[in-house]
Amino acid sequence: MKPPTLKPPVSLVAMLPSLRGRSLHSLLSRRLLHVLPPTPFSDRVPRATAVRLADGVGRSFAGRRLSAAAAPAEQIDTRPFPLRYWKSLLFASVVCAWLNSLRVSNKTSTLRKEMEERVEADSPTNPDELLELRALNDTPSSKIAQLPALASKRLSRWGRASVVEATTPQLLQLLQEAVGGELREVYVLERMLMAIAESKVARGEVADPPPPILDVPLDVRMATATLMFLSSGSVVERLEAMFDVLQQQTEDGRRAVSAEKIEPLLASLIATGQVPPEKQVEVINEGKNELGFGRDWYRVQPVVRLTSADWAAQPPAAEPPGAEEASEPVTAPESPPLDRVELEQFIQMLQGDVVCIWGECHLIHERKRQKKIAEEIAESARNPSWSTRAWNAVFGSSGTPVAESATAPNADAASLPPVERMPQESSLPKSPPSTADFEPAESFTGARQGYVFKLGPMGLGYYKD
């Protein structure tokens, strides 16, 4: 049997002369029909169907080749990386700068809080103990102000050549004698006086080597002003009593405190814990850099602990003018003398935002805020907005909260019968003491039964208790 001869595959190049005028996809379909190997189902597929299948495959293949050849080549960006992605880099830089500013601000706040906790830990008392001492002892300012006079009386007993200074045990003895009864929570007062002595030693005001803390001499008048927080009177009354203890008569006859006594007084108030810790800590703002950006955006600001010298160098801040005062031209006030502080400046300095003795500045701000809210509510009731007037015109004034809040108290007050109220003690007119209740005296000559030696409205002398 003669073996079958294999025919070589027909080349497209050889077929080109005989296939002129035919489309490319028809040529490829015919070529695929000859090239594809036979399958078991090749005999079952009709010839026309096979030609159509091969024709479709060739059409798609040719379409892909032609589209790939016709598409333009993609241009490669050869610019540097920052220029190619400058938008993304700018957005990432802004976000990172903002996150870094939050981190720096949080770090500065953490340092400030740690410093405040350290100040609070060094304080011998806290605000709750001060309130408790004031409530338990219930002592008027006039009795505490007798400490310098009692020190003058006990001069011979203590064997001192001067009554300007006294030790901690001696001051406690004087205070108990001035109060006229047993002192409550004496150990807290002893801690406070010992803190004043430690502060005095730390500032170098005691001869070297320093004596024991209980034997450190303290200024009697300065200690009296520091212990004036025990007074059961109002804040202004306590501050006026402190001023009276430290005051001296000036050449023009005006009462004033020497500027040299302000720094020791502030140091004593700081040492005894009568100044809030947040007022003793300050964050130093380093300002802006050469480009005009604040350094607090990218650098942790230093946190320092203020001293009495820092406060004494600051003038008392004046309160901002109100709405009516701001419209008028403001004249520059006369600069006060640098060597003395008068009563108004003294009170403003101690209860202002700088020192904020006993936390009084927070109460002042809260009262101002409540007053502003009440004024806004009253103004809204007198002159409602256009939306409120439109609501009242359509639905009536019964549904508006402003109208209800403005009219309800007046209606309730009108429906109730008049109630007789007792006048407050502060609103009663105070008549000056008669001459029978006052005996003038230039100095303290000794205790008298039923009389108190003090500087009152009729001058220095003995007033009937």
Q: Compute the distance between CA of residue 42 and CA of residue 37 in angstroms, rounded to an integer.
A: 9
Reported as type and span, the H/E element at residue 187 is helix 186-202
Q: Which residue has the higher pLDDT, 188 or 255?
A: 188
Write the burial class of residue 196 (CB in 10 Å: 0-12 exposed, 13-18 middle, 19+ buried).
buried
Would you place residue 326 in the very low, low, confident or very high pLDDT band (cuts 50, 70, 90)? Answer: very low
Write the burial class of residue 119 (CB in 10 Å: 0-12 exposed, 13-18 middle, 19+ buried).
buried
| CA neighbours closer than 13 Å in the CB half-sphere of residue 150 | 21
Q: Which of 178, 283, 278, 285 has its CA nearest to residue 223?
A: 178
Q: Compute the distance between CA of residue 66 and CA of residue 60 in angstroms, rounded to an integer.
A: 10
* Helix, strand, or coil (residue 230): helix
DSSP string, 387-430: HHHHHHHHH-TTS-HHHHHHHHHHHHHHHSPP---PPPTTTSPP
Q: Which residue has the higher pLDDT, 314 or 330?
A: 314
Reported as type and span, the H/E element at residue 381 is helix 360-382
DSSP 131: H
Average pLDDT over residues 294-312: 88
Q: Which residue has the higher pLDDT, 173 or 20?
A: 173
Angle, helices 127-137/186-202, rounded to nearest 10 degrees: 130
* Helix, strand, or coil (residue 309): helix
Q: What is the pTM of this model?
A: 0.63
Does the pLDDT at position 268 exceed 90?
yes
* Helix, strand, or coil (residue 370): helix
Annotated domain spans of the chain: 23-65, 119-286+294-315+338-366, 435-464
Would you place residue 52 in the very low, low, confident or very high pLDDT band (cuts 50, 70, 90)? Answer: low
What residue spans of 203-272 are helical by DSSP H?
220-226, 235-246, 262-271
Q: Compute the distance between CA of residue 339 and CA of residue 350 in angstroms, rounded to an integer.
A: 17
Per-residue pLDDT, 59: 54
pLDDT digits (tens, 9 = 90+) for 186-203: 999 999 999 999 999 988
The answer to whether the beta carbons of residues 231 and 162 sit under 8 Å apart is no
Chain centre to alpha carbon of residue 379? 30
Counted residue by residue, the chain has a size of 465
